[in-house]
Structure 1
């Protein structure tokens, strides 16, 4: 079974990113307004990009990654412009910026944050495109690092109970 992250172009010019296990049904739901939310007030919508993945987790990871991208980066993906997509990924890594919601820049605000580099995704021009040679994104493992959070104040050592001498 295939799972699909997708990007829709809404009537107001904005993009909507989602994922599904039935692309044709989901696009129909967006078009009719049956799928309530962002797109129901911005119809009609046009499918501009989709990619098949072998598991829901991989599709969800791709959706979440794409949702965090700038408009320019999404448009490079839609055009399958890998050079621009790669350049936009490098530009974002070059400048420190706050991570989502935390406000930390990695410059004295606590532990340094490592950037996550988005990998290019092969685009299919339509959901009915030939899938004879799909090449989905393969998730890359993330190396776990020990926590480097500062301890509040030096704590005194725990009291030790004396052990009675067994041989008087």
Structure 2
């Protein structure tokens, strides 16, 4: 089983997301990440999907997606150089003054924005790769007791220079 990435250009219509996600559910394929957003053309949306599968299953998934009337284009990013980022919010509560100072240092090192705070809590926003976000979560989980994590799915686009970022 290998991590796979696909991007779909789909019609921006009611029910398309449900149909695509239903295709995965109906075949018992597990989506690890799914993001959807409008493109420069208001009639077209772009979906970025991450899943784990073997080669044979992944080929079957791509064929099924290509058969969907609402799907305009399927792009396999699995072996392509891409730029990919994931949105992450982390709320840390019940902080001491020393904890707050440490959180500001961590934010600086990780390139994280502190977007809200009060005397005992901090809300961090991070737009990084999945692995960098995982590193941040692991660090915060080991050092702080009361954290809340909200992650958005990753978005990706093919690299111009053919170098991964």
TM-score w.r.t. the length of structure 2 is 0.33
Which gives a bigger RCO, structure 1 or 2 (Cα 8 Å, sep 6+)?
A: 2
TM-score w.r.t. the length of structure 1 is 0.33
Structure ranking higher in strand proportion:
2
